[in-house]
Structure 1
Amino acid sequence: MIFAFLFALIAIYLVLSVQYNSFTDPVLILVSVPLSVFGALIPLALGVTTLNIYTEIGLITLIGLLSKHGILMVEFANEILHRDNVDRRTAIETAAAIRFRPIIMTTAAMVVGLAPLVIATGAGANSRFGLGTVIVVGMIVGTSMTLFVLPSVYTVVKPRRGKTI
């Protein structure tokens, strides 16, 4: 499982590095993913569900969904940074305020959409329960990390204008 998680993170990092021509932007985008995966592992640690192929698929899905949240904020902050010629903190605060609604709507849609998996009964309910629980808890924790941790890391890690990495 750890190898699949690391492989997914490395693959996403490499694709984003090529797309943004930067080594720091993908780090900023992926900063909330490990924290949310640890949050998604809370049900496993508490014994609510077990680690199986369905929960692993849920973790991989979670990585993709939370990468999207990071992309929304970092891309918009970079655009504001260069277009409006403001400092990093102002750019990420503006991006976080403007992109708050789309991020919350995506999280709410996923949580509500996966609610039937969590409350399912019948044949195969255990596998669906594990998948749904991991993604729901991971989305809630990951969205919190994206909204609160990512702006802090952006102001520290993002290079000043004129510097390229």
Structure 2
Amino acid sequence: MLKNEQGRLISVVYVDTRGRDLSSVVSDLQAAVSEGVDLPAGVSISYAGQFEYLTRANERLQVVIPATLGIIFVLLYLIFRRFDEALLVMGTLPFALTGGFWLLYLMGYNQSVATSVGFIALAGVSAEFGVIMLIYLKSALAKRRGELDAEDVGEAIREGALLRVRPKAMTVAVILAGLFPILIGTGAGSEVMSRIAAPMVGGMITAPLLSMFVIPAAYLLMRRPRPERSPQSEGETECVPQPL
């Protein structure tokens, strides 16, 4: 069958990939063609189909992901009105996402547009975990009146963190109960939906642990009173002459 595109005759070669991600297959094809195929004048090769859609989606994600992180940071600053607390939540996001990467590795999933969508959703949930934990910690500190020493601050942060254990467990249980059937589903559309759910399910292991252990510890370091430095520690030492 004769086919044409943009006024030029074309010949289509269909390639089916199994057990590998599409980007690496096309990358190997491009390397093999550039090394072993001499194209005559007027002949060109283009890679279309799913690879073309994937390329367009990756270009959009390069804009969407930084924009999403920027919006999360702005919202965090509007909530706390402090850069250090907003940076604390943002700094924990990469560690909260590690569970999603591990589950993708264990299930043999390659990085794709669907998994990127799952990681974007996981970043939002992880930021929410951090925000609620900080609200509880700040509330526990606000309940204590007067001058607080390091022991009082540590006790208040411990109380605030313990108040979040039961709500956190309930939230994680509800999310896992909703996403686990999607993760193991085998019906129509399950290939895409399982890859969206996998980062969320894996992240529900690391994100709650991070918000319950790392964020309170980091917040304690930020709010713990610093001991006053004596003049001698600042370099103001008294010179005493030594006998000869």
- What TM-score do the two structures reach when normalised by structure 2? 0.60
Match of 1:33 in 2: 93
Match of 1:77 in 2: 137
Match of 1:148 in 2: 213
Match of 1:66 in 2: 126
Change over 3 Å in CA distance of 1:103–1:121 after alignment to 2: same
Q: What's the RMSD between the two structures over aligned residues?
A: 2.2
| Pairwise CA distance, 1:18 | 2.2
Match of 2:186 in 1: 121
Change over 3 Å in CA distance of 1:38–1:4 after alignment to 2: farther
- The 5 Å alignment of 1:100-115 reads 100-115=165-180
Q: Describe the superposition over 1:23-61 as per-residue Cα deviations: whole angstroms up to 9, x where unpaired.
A: 112123334321021221123344621222221111111
Structure 1 residue corresponding to 2:110, chosen from 33, 47, 50: 50
| Pairwise CA distance, 1:100 | 0.8
Match of 2:164 in 1: 99
Change over 3 Å in CA distance of 1:160–1:64 after alignment to 2: farther
| Pairwise CA distance, 1:8 | 2.3
Distance 1:142 1:118 in 2: 18
Distance 1:33 1:104 in 2: 19
How many residues are paired up? 161
Do structure 1's residue 130 and structure 2's residue 195 form an aligned pair? yes
Q: Which has the higher contact order (CA 8 A, sep 6+)?
A: 1
Distance 1:151 1:31 in 2: 14
Structure 2: 5+ residue runs without aligned partners? 1-60, 227-244
Q: Describe the superposition over 1:44-85 as per-residue Cα deviations: whole angstroms up to 9, x where unpaired.
A: 344621222221111111111111111111111112212213
One-letter amino acid of the structure 1 residue matched with residue 176 of structure 2: V
One-letter amino acid of the structure 2 residue matched with residue 13 of structure 1: F
Structure 1: 5+ residue runs without aligned partners? none
Aligned-partner SS, 1:43: helix
One-letter amino acid of the structure 2 residue matched with residue 147 of structure 1: M
Distance 1:142 1:3 in 2: 25
Tell me which structure has the larger Cα radius of gyration: 2
Match of 1:20 in 2: 80
**Greater helix fraction, Structure 1 or Structure 2:** 1
After TM superposition, the runs of 4+ consecutive aligned structure 1 residues lying more than 6 A away are none
Distance 1:157 1:5 in 2: 29
| Contact 2:154 2:224 (8 Å CA) reproduced | no
Change over 3 Å in CA distance of 1:26–1:147 after alignment to 2: same
Distance 1:110 1:71 in 2: 18
Q: Describe the superposition over 1:87-108 as per-residue Cα deviations: whole angstroms up to 9, x where unpaired.
A: 4322221111011111111111
Change over 3 Å in CA distance of 1:58–1:112 after alignment to 2: same
One-letter amino acid of the structure 2 residue matched with residue 125 of structure 1: S
Distance 1:14 1:160 in 2: 28
Distance 2:104 2:62 in 1: 14
| Contact 1:44 1:50 (8 Å CA) reproduced | yes
